[in-house]
Amino acid sequence: MLKLFDTLSGRKRGFRPLGGRFVRIYTCGPSVYSYSHIGNFRTYLFEDVLVRYLRYKGYRVKRVMNITDVEDKAIAAARREGVSLMALEADKIRAFWRDFDSLGMVRPDVVAKASEHVPQMIGLICRLCRKGYCIRRKDGVYFNVRRFSRYGSLRHLGGGRYLGIARNEDYSREGAWDFRLWKKWTRGDGETGWDSPFGFGRPGWHIECSAMSMHYLGERFDIHCGGADNIFPHHENEIAQSEGATGKKLANFWLHSRHLTLGKKKMSKRTGNVLYVKDLLGAGAHPGCIRFYLLSKRYRTRLDFSQAQFERRVCACERTGTILGQLRKIGDSGGNGMAGSKIAGRLLSAFGKAMDDDLDTGRAFRAIFSAFARIEAMIRKDKLSREDAKAILSAMGRIDSVLGVFGGA
């Protein structure tokens, strides 16, 4: 049985969809005030593998991903660069999809831009206000966290001290902050704004995902994903808003990918310690090798990137690809394929056990490489027939439909 680590409960739990064989997933997408780096893409790749593996196991999946194109950082960036918000973000969105596609990821079923769902956000804020969760101030509307008794449960704050109003999206300390639902227009917002019952302005960052996830997936859905940096305050605030409005548990599972560091340091656009997919591709790296490296450890295990580590680790992946090529060239030398069928069975069994254990891609790769060391020896000794090769290639085709690193084996 597939088990996934749920951040909210703090443990692995057996996965059962809320609706039979149909799985609904919401994944936090890019904030398009700047370009997405490989640390961001580690999270998107984990989500891609999650969706692929669920489909591999026979589930129907609907994945919704948002694009955050209404937020403080984007508006400030457009002002600094002297361009319109639309022009700034159009360039970043094109770059995001170019990198997304280059890594062979399956596009989400629904891509939801925040700017196109403001009516849903206004409706959700009105709903919260009717239930007494809103604090109205001169600069906008805030969510009263003291009215939501479970606030802090995702981050396990343990009844963190109330710290007042959060005036911006970046919290300097972890604790209970009243966060913004609607920001009244100021001169710095330029042309960005919508009419609402709370005055002309724009939605807060957190209300966007609550409104869009419930619009497309309903008031309860199976899995909510994102990077570890989304746990607090973003996902914490989503839970408060959504469950405050509906009285229902929003997501049955909360899954979070750990950070990718660069040279043992946090990847940060602000400090310039970043690396982009286009940089690696420009240096001659194969997209499959990039994908492999970012999946080479389980999604919730910290992973560091260095050029030396990258070159060393991808060797095993490239070697497997070479052996797959040799299997395709095996001629008809007799044999009934029994040896290949046994190898294929063991490969699929080991892969399933690793992936059922909270998507342990690192363990899955180790099992594949171990098997292919034996396969290589059998090829050298001419112990595999064409039928054996077909069985192994068929198994690897199924495995690679999930991992996507062996060139469609």
Q: What percent of the chain has pLDDT over 70?
A: 96
Q: How confident is the model at residue 133 (pLDDT cuts 50, 70, 90)?
A: very high
Cβ-contact 379, 326 below 8 angstroms? yes
Cβ-contact 267, 275 below 8 angstroms? yes
Does residue 147 register a pLDDT over 60? yes
Q: How confident is the model at residue 65 (pLDDT cuts 50, 70, 90)?
A: very high
CATH number at residue 233: 3.40.50.620
Residues 6+ apart with CB under 8 A from 316: 365, 369
| Rg over CA atoms, the chain | 24
Q: Which of these three, 257, 277, 299, is where a domain ends?
A: 257
* Cα–Cα dist 132/317, whole Å: 56
Q: What percent of the chain has pLDDT over 90?
A: 77
pLDDT on residue 159: 61
Mean pLDDT value across residues 33-45: 95
Domain identity same for 234 and 371: no
Mean pLDDT value across residues 217-223: 98
Domain identity same for 121 and 184: yes
Does residue 173 register a pLDDT over 50? yes
| Pairing verdict, β 11-14 and 3-6 | antiparallel
Omega before 203 cis (within 30°)?
no
Does residue 317 register a pLDDT over 60? yes
pLDDT in tens, 331-373: 876 666 799 999 999 999 999 999 999 999 999 999 999 999 9
Quote the domain boundaries for residue 310: 286-403
Q: How confident is the model at residue 171 (pLDDT cuts 50, 70, 90)?
A: low
Mean pLDDT value across residues 18-33: 95
Does residue 77 register a pLDDT over 90? no
Domain identity same for 359 and 253: no
Q: How many domains does the chain have?
A: 2
Q: How confident is the model at residue 82 (pLDDT cuts 50, 70, 90)?
A: confident
pLDDT on residue 409: 44
Domain identity same for 294 and 156: no
- Better-predicted residue by pLDDT, 33 or 350: 350
- Mean pLDDT of the residues in the chain: 93
184: in domain? yes
Say what the pTM is.
0.95
pLDDT on residue 172: 61
* Cα–Cα dist 159/343, whole Å: 53
Q: How confident is the model at residue 168 (pLDDT cuts 50, 70, 90)?
A: low
Cβ-contact 329, 384 below 8 angstroms? no
Cβ-contact 1, 357 below 8 angstroms? no
124: in domain? yes
Q: Which helix (H) or strand (E) holds 181?
A: strand 176-184
45: in domain? yes
Domain identity same for 26 and 65: yes
- Better-predicted residue by pLDDT, 176 or 46: 46
Domain identity same for 299 and 189: no
